Amino acid sequence: MSEGAFRDVGGRALPLAWLILAVAAIGLSTLFAIVLVVARTPWVAGWLPAGQVFGTALVLHVNLASLVWFLAVACALWSLDATRRLSALRWTGFGLAAAGMVALVASPLASPGAPLLSNYVPVLESDVFRIGLAWLFAGVALTAALALPRLRRLGSADLALVPVAAAALPLLAAFASLVWSWAALPAGLDAGLYFELLSWGPGHLVQFAFTLLLMAAWLHLGRLAGLPPHLPSRRLAVGAVLFTAIVPLLALPLHALYAPDSVAFRKAFTALMSYGTWPGAAVLGAAIGLALLRHRSEAQSQPAVRPVLWLSLLLFAAGGVLGAFIRTDSTTVPAHYHGMVGAVTLALMALVLDLLPRFGFTPPGARLLRAHAWSYGPGLLLMVAGLAWSGGYGAPRKTPHTEGMIEASGHLFATALSGIGGLLAICGGVLFVVAAVGTLTRRAAPAQASAGLPAWSAGGAPATGRRDVRPWAFAIAVSAIVLVGVVLSLFSASESPRTVADALLAGIKPVDQASHVAAKRREETELRFQQGVVMLHAKEYDHAVTAFHRVLELSPEMPEAHVNMGYALIGLRRWAAARDFFESAIALRPDQLNAYFGLAEALEGLGDLPGAIGAMRTYVHLAAPDDPFRRKGESALWEWQDRLARERAAAPPAKGTPNEQRNASKS
């Protein structure tokens, strides 16, 4: 029976501390996921004041489940071979990350802020939240940097440890991208747009690190499932890993070529992730799947390990296929990333439950492990299917059911399916936490406790009797936390700093419900409008239409939204619909100048030259002499007048008397 790549780890405290942090993160994210699932499930969504808590719960769930959980597991794996050298720095990294997670979770009470639902790293407009992110990233970056020296030992490392070590490269590239974007972004941007642009580069790059963790977990679970050591082949696995680890390094020249607020930058990083993250994992996953079919051995050292491996492979495949069908900003997007992220989470859960007993704890029961596997994996598959089905109806993402209601029976069943799947997945997450906590509270008998070292360790066991460096590490971590907090507070964008008492009271003082909901609606309107403008400039017209559709749901009498929706529809060559939106904007605000320009373009697309000329004349008449688009409008006006004159001259003369001609035209 193979025990996988990660052999006994003895009593090492640092990787165990990281694993405990990871379990805490996934447990807390599960609590926030309950809010999200209830808010998106019909019949029960009305029980929850979704407008108040949905955005905050979404921000905390995404950061805990997609950042803290994955990064903590990565740091635990990097720390398995920690030697006596630089122990204080390693513990400092853990202290920073742990303090960062505490700050993230406490931020809604300590410093309430509006949720900004930016992609990859949604944030709260809160100083405490931003400081927590800074601490988390600093601790993980320090741990990843200390893991780089092990790259030279990849030739002799166990196969599953190759992607673990390689994951440090894209992660450090993501941190470099974050710093580069922060330094290059112009001042004065809207907060929602700023964080969207800031996290765009690093958010795409960190997906490569998560993919490498998934590949490591697959290889380890394959050994636990009884696959022979030669399946999959080492050459194929190493090639897939190197491809996935090296591609994100192309981000550095991309930063040198494009500004982070440019359309080319967004498209380049999107293409980098779209074509770079999945090929290596797909090849490795296909090889492991074929090996599982060829070798049906039941010699597995963990209950339900084969179902977990199959479910993870299936989730990854489903997420990848759905990603190819994304056309608009609908729930197909979360269906795609829940498939991909769910594949990683399920595999890492099984890996963590296998690692914890190797620290001298009693393993969880077989029944509990099977219950976890058969609730979390199938639950996620049902949720992915429901979200993808809803996306087919154009249901907008990042909104609860009550705010994205679509009057179609199929959509109702789709949301119910995603709700049921989400509740099953939540049950699986709870069972994982129960299994992990139960394991951590039961020490194994001395004869059963592990005393070996991880497979890749080259530094030997910790020397007995050496000085404990953890007090020094704690002091360094506290000092670093205070220093980072002071620096960030000096550069804080907050216009109304609070005292500690004010911050604490803000979590318990009564809130004016009506004004609170109105404020939330304004914040989402502004964020969606900025996202739509970005998509419009990037010529991603489908995404722009989805964003402005949501803006018009929230603020139907906003003429700017009607105008921008019209321009997005012009980009899709939907001339008649664009005309209607421009006319609505003019009806709402007769002096909306750009609406006349857009109306002229839409009418020209419909072949109505007289109407286009009339609209453009109105624009030129109202435009200021220094209007940058006035010259373009005048040129279009002259061109259309000339074309209309030529068309009329080429038309055959009408027959009959003038009175007959007038009567014929009226009829």
Helix residue ranges per DSSP H, 4-126? 13-39, 50-63, 69-78, 87-110
Q: What is the mean pLDDT of residues 303-314?
A: 90
Banded pLDDT at 121 (limits 50, 70, 90): confident
| Tokens encoding 565 | 């929706």
Banded pLDDT at 286 (limits 50, 70, 90): very high
- Cβ atoms of 25 and 101 within 8 Å: the answer is yes
Q: Which residue has the higher pLDDT, 420 or 516?
A: 420
Helix residue ranges per DSSP H, 148-190? 161-166, 168-184
Residue 491 confidence (pLDDT) above 50: no
Please tell me the predicted confidence (pLDDT) of residue 332: 81
Phi, psi dihedral angles at 187 (to 5 degrees) = -80, 160
Banded pLDDT at 86 (limits 50, 70, 90): confident
Residue 175 confidence (pLDDT) above 60: yes
394: left (phi over 0), alpha (psi -120 to 50) or beta: left
Q: What is the mean pLDDT of residues 277-284?
A: 93
Residue 187 confidence (pLDDT) above 90: no
Q: Which residue has the higher pLDDT, 344 or 322?
A: 344
Q: What is the mean pLDDT of residues 604-608?
A: 91
Q: What is the mean pLDDT of residues 499-513?
A: 35
Please tell me the predicted confidence (pLDDT) of residue 396: 61
Q: Which residue has the higher pLDDT, 313 or 542?
A: 313
- Cβ atoms of 195 and 116 within 8 Å: the answer is yes
Q: What is the mean pLDDT of the chain?
A: 78
Please choose, from the candidates 650, 480, 427, the residue with its C-alpha nearest in 3D space to the C-alpha of residue 92: 480
Phi, psi dihedral angles at 490 (to 5 degrees) = -70, -35
Place of tokens 């960190």: 206
Residue 99 confidence (pLDDT) above 70: yes
Q: What is the DSSP letter of 357?
A: G
Please tell me the predicted confidence (pLDDT) of residue 19: 95
Q: Comparing 176-185, 238-247, 519-528, 635-644, which segment has the lowest mean pLDDT?
A: 519-528
User: Which residues on adjacent β-strands are paired with residue 443?
Assistant: 361
Say how far apart CA 377 and CA 70 lie, in whole Å.
Answer: 17
Q: Which residue has the higher pLDDT, 586 or 445?
A: 586
Q: What is the DSSP letter of 128?
A: H
Q: Comparing 94-103, 461-470, 553-562, 603-612, which segment has the lowest mean pLDDT?
A: 461-470
Banded pLDDT at 212 (limits 50, 70, 90): very high
Residue range 361-405, pLDDT digits in tens: 888 888 898 898 899 999 999 989 888 888 776 666 555 444 444
Say how far apart CA 138 and CA 144 lie, in whole Å.
Answer: 10
Please tell me the predicted confidence (pLDDT) of residue 2: 43
The SS3 call for residue 116 is: strand
Say how far apart CA 388 and CA 617 lie, in whole Å.
Answer: 46
Please tell me the predicted confidence (pLDDT) of residue 488: 44
Residue range 255-270, pLDDT digits in tens: 999 888 787 888 889 8
Q: Which residue has the higher pLDDT, 42 or 121?
A: 121
Distances 150 to 92, 127, 209, 287 between C-alpha atoms, Å: 20, 36, 16, 26
Considering the chain, what percentage of its residues have pLDDT values greater than 90? 30
How many residues are given for the chain? Answer: 667
Residue 517 confidence (pLDDT) above 60: no
The SS3 call for residue 396 is: strand
Please tell me the predicted confidence (pLDDT) of residue 647: 83
Q: What is the mean pLDDT of residues 153-163?
A: 71
Residue 230 confidence (pLDDT) above 60: yes
Q: What is the mean pLDDT of residues 588-608?
A: 91
Residue 160 confidence (pLDDT) above 50: yes
Q: What is the mean pLDDT of residues 614-641?
A: 87
- Cβ atoms of 41 and 416 within 8 Å: the answer is yes
Please tell me the predicted confidence (pLDDT) of residue 95: 94
Banded pLDDT at 122 (limits 50, 70, 90): confident
Q: Which residue has the higher pLDDT, 549 or 350?
A: 350
Residue 329 confidence (pLDDT) above 90: no
For the chain, what is the radius of gyration of the CA atoms? 29
Residue 245 confidence (pLDDT) above 80: yes
Calculate the CA dihedral of residues 263, 267, 273, 276 and round it to 10 degrees: -140
| Tokens encoding 182 | 């922060």
pTM, two decimals, is: 0.68
Please tell me the predicted confidence (pLDDT) of residue 302: 66
| Domains within the chain, CATH numbers bracketed | 13-446+472-477 (1.20.210.10), 520-651 (1.25.40.10)
Residue 126 confidence (pLDDT) above 60: yes
Q: Which residue has the higher pLDDT, 581 or 444?
A: 581
- Cβ atoms of 54 and 400 within 8 Å: the answer is yes
Please tell me the predicted confidence (pLDDT) of residue 420: 86
Residue 143 confidence (pLDDT) above 50: yes
Q: Residue 158 CA to chain centroid, in angstroms?
A: 31
Say how far apart CA 299 and CA 305 lie, in whole Å.
Answer: 10
Please tell me the predicted confidence (pLDDT) of residue 492: 40
Residue 446 CB coordination number (10 Å): 8
